[in-house]
Amino acid sequence: MNDSYFERTGERRFKPTVHAGGAWNDDELHFSPVGGLVVHAIERHRAQTGAAGGLALSRIAFDILGRLAVDECEITVETIRPGRTVELVEAVLVIGERAVIRARAWYLATSDTSVVAGSPVEPLAGPGEFEPWPMSELWDGGYIASIDVRRRELAQGRAQAWIGSEVGLVAGEEIGPLASFVALVDTANGIAVRQDHTEWMFPNVDLTIHLHRQPEGRWTGMDTTVTFGPTGHGLTSTVLHDVHGPVGSAQQSLTVRSLGVSPGA
């Protein structure tokens, strides 16, 4: 069994392993490790192009443009707005000659603001205080089977969880803590489900992550709320944590559909 989600096959090309399989369909990739892979490619691009030091990721927004087939992918990265205090980077992931993910990341200069640092958001209790949750009993796919989930259900559409993985992102490559953290964030849409996913579909068409602090450690903490509106739209909102406390937030726009209704796209 492979011990990574992807294997590098070229300078910009990657092949998924069985661990990257999606939760909705066997022939699709789960977005979570794909998102981490995009961040890894962005970080590599910035290192190779000599991007200004002292900048840190503040926001990354992923738009999912199409089906993520279980196939080799290519990622191109371009610095859209270089700068010493503000930088904008864009990454495009292509599968089968079709762009299926477009991501834009803002990097901002860092400085010492510890004297005013603080948040009203309470830290989550540590991973050891949460019960293990067999997520693969609810969801299918190689990715779900690969992760360690500790969870508390608070109400319908409300849950807190810690997620970790011993599976590497790219075989044989050192992965930074940011890419490893982001590689687990998209899981949020599956930890606080409002309806049975065998009767309703609610995939996300995007993922936007804002950070006020860079995450540390192997665990990604989530305090997640899922809302369904009356006209086929939904929102998964998550406060993100590491073991030291809150680090930011994530938002996912959902398309909510009865499985008895044709998706039409």
Question: How high is the mean pLDDT of the chain?
Answer: 95
At residue 260, the pLDDT reads 78
Residue 119 backbone phi and psi in degrees, to 5: -150, 145
Residue 249 has pLDDT above 90, yes or no: yes
Q: Please report the domains of the chain, with CATH numbers, ordered by start residue.
A: 4-110+124-258 (2.40.160.210)
- What's the pLDDT tens digit per position in 135-185? 999 999 999 999 999 999 999 999 999 999 999 999 999 999 999 999 999
Query: ∠ CA 182-184-189 to the nearest 5 degrees?
Result: 110
- What's the pLDDT tens digit per position in 5-64? 999 999 999 999 999 999 998 899 999 999 999 999 999 999 999 888 899 999 999 999
Which residues have a Cβ under 8 Å from the Cβ of 119 and sit 6 or more positions away?
Answer: 212, 245, 246
At residue 1, the pLDDT reads 46
Look-up: residue for tokens 């726009």? 253
The mean pLDDT value for 215-219 works out to: 95
The mean pLDDT value for 247-265 works out to: 83
What's the rounded Cα separation, in Å, for the pair 105 and 112?
22
Spell out a b/e string for 166-204, using b for 16 or more CB atoms within 10 Å of the CB, else e.
ebbbbeeeebbebbbbbbbbbbbbbbbbbbebeebbbbb
**3-class DSSP state of 119:** coil
- What's the pLDDT tens digit per position in 74-91? 999 999 999 999 999 999
DSSP letter at 130?
S
Residue 204's identity, in one-letter code, is: N
Q: What is the CA radius of gyration of the chain?
A: 18
